[in-house]
Chain A
Amino acid sequence: MAKIKGAVVIDEEHCKGCNLCVVACPSNVLALNKEANSKGYNYSYMDNPDECVGCAACAYVCPDACITVYKVRV
């Protein structure tokens, strides 16, 4: 069976750390960073990148449109 590998790129400066993408991710890939961006928000990042399947659930629910999603079959 073909395996699907995904990855997301988060616009760290536009992320407000609302946590909605972390809740929406079905594979528990995302988490909020301990580091903050220049506005003081703990931005989202791929804590567990190997599990990402590129479903884009995080991007659909992101209110600030700061998630770009990539997906490839391997």
Chain B
Amino acid sequence: MTLNEIINPANLVYSKTKVMNDTPMHYCPGCSHGVVHKLIAEVIEEMNVQEKTIGIAPVGCAVFAYKYLDIDWQQAAHGRAPALATAVIRLLPDRLVFTYQGDGDLAAIGTAETIHAANRGENIAIIFINNGIYGMTGGQMAPTTLEGMKTSTSPNGRKIELNGNPLNMTDLLARLPGTCYVTRQSVHNVANVRKTKKAIRLAFENALAHKGTSVVEVVSTCNSGWKMTPADANTWMVDNMFPEYPLGDIKNL
């Protein structure tokens, strides 16, 4: 059988979802953001909620998320995505509202907004990309940076006595009564991509069912900021990030 006989619409098993448009993504080669964007788009297509989904884009690498997913978007000030999402879901309670935030956005400048929105139990889904670094601005140390991890502002590695401990936002959010589903996933291989997709789907269903705040942390790589190849960054993440940020559901009510 020739390739041309196999490549036929009748034999299609996987193609890009229509919720994503054809704009080339600005992310570095191998960036986890692209995979998570794709999963969100696939979940929106499967749930058939493209017309009623409103995403809140953050400041950070994902600031241009609105260029890639063909849904309604709002762009929040740095860290304020959960506050803006609160306004949107209260004014338009029949919509699916989610925020998409990195660790510099959610765990640093937006800590207050995130914790209070989750504590109020706003009916939103929070997608939290944790790569332990400020990717967009040049690989500076973030609150989530691991002990001993080298960044452009901690060239000798993060020191606990000087910079404090890595901040585990997801564990903090799981303790709040307003959250209904808190999980930590990754997208470094096929099995985990599938699990993350299921987690995003559950988070979106919870938001639509007004069950409270759902948080999906995706432990991610920043191969440019970490100064590694994409494949090496995945290996480094498994060896170093997962002990500090273990995968799995933390809360599922």
Contacts and interface: CB of A to CB of B under 8 A. Distances in A.
Interface string A15-30: 0111110011000000
A57 B3 CA distance: 19
B116 to A, nearest CB: 32
B193 A5 contact: no
A61 B12 contact: no
Contact of A57 (B27, B28, B33, B190): B190
Contacts of A5: 1, 6
B123 interface: no
Contact of A19 (B5, B31, B231): B231
Interface stretch (B14-22, B88-96, B175-183): B14-22
Interface residues of A, number: 33
6 contacts: A7-B3, A14-B22, A61-B35, A63-B32, A64-B24, A64-B34
B8 interface: yes
Interface residues of B, number: 37
Interface of B: 1, 3, 5-8, 11-17, 20, 22, 24-25, 27-35, 38, 187-190, 193-194, 229-231, 234
B230 A18 contact: yes
Interface of A: 5-7, 9, 13-14, 16-20, 23-24, 41, 49, 54, 56-57, 59-72, 74
A74 B24 CA distance: 36
A14 B27 CA distance: 12
Contacts of A13: 24
Contacts of A59: 14
B189 A56 contact: no
A74 B28 CA distance: 39
Max count, chain A CB within 10 A of own CB: residue among B28, B32, B230? B230
A51 to B, nearest CB: 13
A60 B42 CA distance: 11
Contacts of B25: 63-64
